[in-house]
């Protein structure tokens, strides 16, 4: 990775600060609108544009035709354990940001995967702070070197979604310092992060409890004063709840604007002397510095890599001769992220390539689940599909596709263009009328397309009336209905389908409840073609800080075979095939921002499908298409199992590459896969009396599994790839570039018949007799090595001094005694051991 440094910045920002009036300063610390800050043309300042998010750069436009590169979920990137690939993803973030006119990307999310039920588990990198930091530092460094800011989120201990705007995370100081703060600290100290986002939730550390945006000891004391953070602390959207406490706490920019607490009350607080101009200057100077860094100040140019260096090459620091298209990078990252949980007998890729008939079954086979729900959503440039990609890779093989099971609770979307007619005009589509509070019709229009959302509302609109005639031609049982939020009444031919009287506002956005409302349907038995009228009265939601909208997910399930028949067809296809590939997984109904999962089970009847296919064909590959852990009760019986994450737009092509042997699935688990829900150390994320108690202390994720001696389905760091490895020796070496750290050289050998990529992992064990409640072992370092078959290589792994240390009474302390380093392929496949001479007890 490049180590080029940015030119010195700040001089221009300081000169502009001195030219601003008090009113202009106040205007700069509140967003102009949903996604931009205010500009001041008088001093050459244009607005700064911010945009979500972790799986791509959506941009600031509401135009649904705008498309973006959809990356695999952050957990998938972390599963590569590859800093170079992470660097290339950071470069892609910068390229995509420039493409969409964005200055600051609201990513990465470096909260930890404290519990597998966390709703945004897929958006996080790992359950381990060191792995999280290593990948995130590469991403942020690469993007910011190219003049695009990355906003690191959510500071701090915001690791679950239930009641996220109200709960307080109670964390002991040591756990906070050793587990939850390290990724943020390293992003500030090593990557020089330009922005940090404060969380919705609160934090109680050492008895000091406050909302995250008002927590002065953390925001100002630790982040700014101790670590030297010179960037902008941005509020999560609509998270600011106060004026003076947030100002004093350390918040710099309230988003969005122009209303909200600061938009309404900051001017008065300054006028009353409650907020001083010096306090305001400190915040404005940070915003101006950010503007200078991203090129939003006249006379300042955002950094840009020299021609030909935008895409570091995959094997070193040499610049590529030409920038490859983004899809090739995404395809490589996605394929590399796939984890081989098991493959016995070896079906990948030999068994796949030799098959003359493949049964591709499962609800996610035809349409992979590409991205989780919530604010990270992007509309992809294109999507690759596994059936067509697999067929193209194996032209002589017959590929049959069968759903076999259901994964979603809601029926499919109603095909408005093909089935619906406005009863009044006879035009195709649905009639949309906006009504005022007194029932006056403000506007009326017919839409021949409907995606479940309506945003063309005016402030005085209170109700949307939707009317359409739905043509049901197929004989049999139809299900028709809608999913919505807020006050509503939905009727089909005058029959009440559902109703609600709860008025909703911005809280429905913060809970993500508007994204995936559960649909209610009515059953209609059809003997001959008929038309039914669907009518709905729906609340127009006017959320503070967000655009107004109406939500109406119209759904329709056609007559067809029942669950038993669909599964039987898939099982018979698998029985008749040379090889079966079963693709099962989650959906946006269960993996999303705004809520936590209530179960680790695969949704629907997918487990039964896997059991029956495996029983029918012993040559079966099961692909798990999920972001967060799910229970695999059939794991012992399935011959071959791949974990394929939420893969983004290149998922179909990348998975075909893996199955056919074009790219090695060299991923390693960045979290622990449980075998039983009862074994999970933190089984839920539900606050008790408003408190989420981090009672596990420093024993997060695999550390708790090691402490308790429980056996997971697959341990942290596990992944088989497609070759076998010997670990032949480990030695301590002196690295003059890192004299305070511990460095080891590890000799490994590729014993297989194919070139392979190995992730060499080094774990630290505390000195014997340690009394400070240290984990049994924890990740200290890792590296990725590519080795040809029959060849050996030496992998150098650096273990930073900090990972040996403990936080004790407000300082870092190096425990006395000899630590042990364990080297291997996962936290439980440890091949080599080396002792570390006693480290200096002095603080760094």
**Which domains, and CATH codes, for the chain?**
11-57+71-294 (3.20.20.300), 339-390+575-587+606-664 (3.40.50.1700), 416-557 (2.60.120.260), 725-835 (2.60.40.10)
Mean pLDDT within 308-337:
60
Confidence of residue 511 (pLDDT cuts 50, 70, 90): confident
Name the pTM for this structure: 0.93
- 151 within 8 A of 197, measured Cβ to Cβ: yes
Please check the confidence at residue 321 and state whether its pLDDT lies above 60.
no
What's the alpha-carbon Rg for the chain, to the nearest Å?
Answer: 28
Q: Distance (Å, rounded) from C-alpha 299 to C-alpha 465?
A: 52
Structure tokens at 477: 């049982």
Q: Distance (Å, rounded) from C-alpha 284 to C-alpha 21?
A: 11
Percentage of the chain exceeding pLDDT 70: 96
Please check the confidence at residue 289 and state whether its pLDDT lies above 90.
yes
DSSP state, residue 177: I
Please check the confidence at residue 751 and state whether its pLDDT lies above 80.
yes
Confidence (pLDDT) at 302 = 62
Return all residues near 764 (Cβ < 8 A) that are at least 6 apart. 777, 778, 779, 780, 799, 803, 804, 819, 820, 821, 822
Structure tokens at 516: 């995936």
Q: pLDDT per residue over 706-733, tens digit each? A: 999 999 999 999 999 999 999 999 999 9
Show the CA angle centred on residue 15, arms to residues 13 and 20, nearest 5°. Answer: 90
Q: pLDDT per residue over 161-198, tens digit each? A: 999 999 999 999 999 999 999 999 999 999 999 999 99
> Mean pLDDT for the chain?
93
Please check the confidence at residue 808 and state whether its pLDDT lies above 50.
yes
Confidence (pLDDT) at 319 = 33
Confidence (pLDDT) at 840 = 74
H or E element: which one contains 289?
helix 277-294
User: Interhelix angle for 326-337 vs 83-99, to 10°?
Assistant: 140
Confidence of residue 375 (pLDDT cuts 50, 70, 90): confident
Please check the confidence at residue 8 and state whether its pLDDT lies above 70.
no
- Return the closest-CA partner of residue 16 out of 436, 298, 246: 298
Residue 133's SS3 state is: helix
Q: Distance (Å, rounded) from C-alpha 757 to C-alpha 668?
A: 11
Q: pLDDT per residue over 516-544, tens digit each? A: 888 999 999 999 999 999 999 999 999 88
Range scoring the smallest mean pLDDT among 85-99, 278-292, 373-387, 656-670: 373-387
Q: Distance (Å, rounded) from C-alpha 161 to C-alpha 176?
A: 19
Confidence (pLDDT) at 737 = 86
Q: Where are the alpha helices (DSSP H) in 650-798?
A: 651-660, 702-708
Torsion of CA 720, 724, 726, 730, to 10 degrees: -40
Q: Distance (Å, rounded) from C-alpha 367 to C-alpha 420?
A: 25
Residue 625: how many CB atoms within 10 A of its CB? 27
Confidence (pLDDT) at 743 = 97
- Return the closest-CA partner of residue 1 out of 162, 190, 163: 190
DSSP state, residue 20: -
Please check the confidence at residue 147 and state whether its pLDDT lies above 50.
yes
Structure tokens at 572: 């018979």
Handedness of CA 825, 827, 833, 836 (dihedral sign): positive
- Return the closest-CA partner of residue 635 out of 356, 335, 337, 339: 339
- 752 within 8 A of 789, measured Cβ to Cβ: yes
Q: pLDDT per residue over 546-591, tens digit each? A: 889 999 999 999 999 999 999 999 999 999 999 999 999 999 899 9
Please check the confidence at residue 305 and state whether its pLDDT lies above 60.
no
Residue 299: how many CB atoms within 10 A of its CB? 11
Mean pLDDT within 782-804:
97
Confidence (pLDDT) at 62 = 81
Please check the confidence at residue 304 and state whether its pLDDT lies above 50.
no
Q: Distance (Å, rounded) from C-alpha 641 to C-alpha 631?
A: 13
Please check the confidence at residue 409 and state whether its pLDDT lies above 50.
yes
- For the annotated catalytic residues, the residue numbers are 236
Confidence (pLDDT) at 20 = 96
Confidence (pLDDT) at 325 = 67
Q: pLDDT per residue over 221-249, tens digit each? A: 999 999 999 999 999 999 999 999 999 99
Confidence (pLDDT) at 123 = 96
Confidence (pLDDT) at 310 = 35
Residue with tokens 């003359």: 356
Burial 149-178 (b: 16+ CB within 10 A, else e): bbbbbbbbbbbbbbbbbebbbbbbbbbbbb
Q: Distance (Å, rounded) from C-alpha 570 to C-alpha 425?
A: 44
Confidence of residue 842 (pLDDT cuts 50, 70, 90): low
Confidence (pLDDT) at 376 = 82
């Amino acid at each position: 990775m490049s180590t080029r440094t940015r030119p010195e910045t700040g001089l221009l920002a300081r000169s502009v600060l001195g030219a601003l009036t008090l009113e202009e300063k106040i205007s700069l610390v509140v967003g102009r609108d949903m996604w931009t800050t205010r500009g001041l043309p008088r001093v050459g300042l244009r607005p700064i544009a911010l945009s979500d998010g972790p799986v791509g750069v959506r941009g600031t436009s509401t135009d649904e035709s705008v498309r973006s590169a959809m990356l695999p979920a952050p957990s998938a990137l972390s599963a590569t354990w590859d800093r170079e690939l992470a660097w290339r993803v950071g470069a892609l973030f910068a390229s995509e940001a420039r493409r969409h006119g964005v200055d600051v990307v609201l990513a990465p999310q470096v909260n930890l995967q404290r519990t597998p039920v966390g709703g945004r588990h897929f958006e996080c990198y790992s359950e381990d702070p060191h792995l999280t930091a290593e990948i995130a530092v590469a991403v942020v460094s690469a993007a910011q070197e190219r003049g695009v800011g990355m906003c690191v989120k959510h500071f701090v201990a915001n690791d679950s979604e239930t009641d996220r705007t109200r709960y307080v995370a109670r964390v002991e100081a040591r756990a906070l310092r050793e587990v939850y703060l390290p990724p943020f600290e390293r992003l500030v100290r090593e990557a020089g992060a330009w922005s940090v986002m404060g969380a919705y939730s609160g934090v109680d550390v050492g008895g000091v409890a406050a909302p995250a945006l008002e927590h002065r000891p953390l925001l100002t004391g630790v982040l700014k004063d101790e670590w030297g953070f010179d960037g902008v602390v941005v509020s999560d959207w609509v998270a600011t709840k106060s004026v003076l406490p947030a100002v004093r706490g350390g918040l710099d920019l309230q988003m969005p604007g122009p209303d909200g607490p600061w938009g309404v009350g900051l001017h008065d607080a300054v006028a009353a002397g409650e907020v001083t101009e010096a306090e305001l200057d400190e915040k404005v100077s940070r915003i101006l510095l950010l503007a200078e860094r991203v090129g939003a100040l006249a006379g300042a140019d955002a950094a840009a890599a020299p021609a030909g260096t935008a895409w570091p090459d995959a094997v070193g620091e040499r610049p590529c001769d030409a920038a490859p298209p983004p899809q090739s990078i995404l395809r490589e990252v996605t394929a590399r992220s796939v984890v081989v949980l098991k493959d016995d007998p070896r079906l990948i890729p030999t068994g796949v390539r030799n098959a003359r008939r493949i049964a591709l079954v499962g609800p996610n086979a035809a349409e992979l689940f590409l991205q989780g729900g919530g604010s990270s959503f992007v509309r992809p440039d294109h999507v690759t599909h596994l059936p067509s990609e697999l067929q193209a890779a194996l032209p002589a093989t017959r590929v049959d596709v069968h759903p076999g099971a259901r994964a979603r609770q809601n029926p499919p979307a109603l095909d408005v263009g093909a089935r619906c007619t406005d009863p009044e005009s006879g035009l195709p589509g649905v009639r949309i009328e906006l009504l005022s509070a007194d029932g006056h019709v403000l506007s009326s229009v017919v839409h021949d397309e409907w995606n479940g959302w309506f945003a063309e509302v005016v402030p005085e609109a209170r109700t949307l009336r939707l009317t359409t005639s739905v043509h049901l031609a197929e004989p049999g049982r139809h299900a028709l209905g809608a999913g919505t939020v807020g006050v509503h009444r939905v009727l089909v031919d005058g029959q009440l389908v559902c109703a609600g009287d709860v008025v909703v506002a911005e809280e429905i956005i913060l809970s993500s409840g508007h994204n995936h409302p559960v649909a209610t349907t009515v059953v209609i038995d059809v003997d001959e073609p008929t038309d039914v009228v669907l009518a709905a009265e729906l609340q127009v939601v006017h959320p503070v800080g967000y655009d107004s909208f109406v939500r109406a997910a119209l759904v329709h399930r056609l007559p067809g075979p029942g669950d038993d028949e669909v599964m039987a067809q898939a099982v018979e296809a698998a029985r008749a095939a040379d090889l079966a590939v079963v693709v099962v997984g989650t959906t946006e109904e269960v993996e999303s921002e705004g809520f936590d999962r209530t179960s680790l089970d695969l949704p629907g009847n997918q487990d039964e499908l896997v059991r029956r296919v495996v029983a029918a064909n012993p040559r079966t590959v099961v692909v798990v298409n999920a972001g967060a852990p799910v229970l695999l009760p059939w794991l012992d019986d399935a011959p071959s199992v791949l974990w394929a994450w939420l893969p983004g737009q290149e998922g179909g092509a990348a998975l075909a590459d893996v199955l056919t042997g074009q790219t090695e699935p060299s991923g390693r688990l960045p979290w622990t896969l449980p075998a039983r829900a009862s074994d999970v150390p933190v089984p839920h994320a539900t606050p008790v009396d408003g408190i989420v108690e981090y009672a596990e202390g420093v024993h997060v994720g695999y550390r708790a599994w090691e402490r308790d001696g429980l056996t997971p389905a697959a341990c942290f760091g596990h992944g088989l790839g497609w070759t076998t490895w010997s670990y032949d020796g480990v030695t301590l070496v002196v690295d003059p570039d890192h004299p305070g750290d511990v460095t080891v050289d590890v000799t490994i050998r590729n014993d297989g018949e194919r070139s392979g990529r190995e992730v060499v992992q080094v774990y630290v064990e505390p000195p014997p007799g340690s009394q400070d409640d240290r984990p049994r072992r924890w990740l200290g370092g890792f590296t990725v090595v590519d080795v040809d078959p029959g060849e050996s290589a030496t992998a150098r792994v650096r273990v930073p001094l900090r990972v040996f240390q403990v936080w004790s009474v407000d300082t870092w302390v190096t425990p006395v005694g000899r630590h042990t380093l364990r080297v291997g392929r996962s936290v439980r496949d440890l091949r080599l051991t080396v002792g570390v001479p006693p480290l200096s007890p002095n603080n760094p």
